Amino acid sequence: MKRAYLFGGLICVVCLLIGAYYLLPGVNHILVSDRPTSPHVKHALVFFALAVIALVGARFVANAESAA
């Protein structure tokens, strides 16, 4: 239970950091072809949503392992 939840938490933290990276102005953002130094809100929102999905998924896995 604990291991799956920690792995999901790690993925969540990584996605949050990448989302914050895409909000920084004046930094060259990878995988962006137009205006690479301006903030990209859509990219940040996608990574924030992935962070939430990873956290919820880890919680479901932790509950499934404790019930088995």
Q: So where are the chain's domains?
A: 2-67
Query: What tens digit of pLDDT does each residue of 6-60 get?
Result: 888 899 999 999 999 999 998 888 877 778 888 889 999 999 999 999 999 888 8
Nearest to 48 by CA among 24, 3, 10, 17: 17
Residue 1: the pLDDT is: 55
Is residue 35 left, alpha or beta, with left meaning phi > 0 and alpha meaning psi from -120 to 50? left
Measured CA to CA, the distance from residue 16 to residue 14 in angstroms comes to 5
Question: What pTM was computed for the model?
Answer: 0.83
Residue with tokens 């999901």: 8
Does the structure show a pLDDT above 80 at 62?
Answer: no
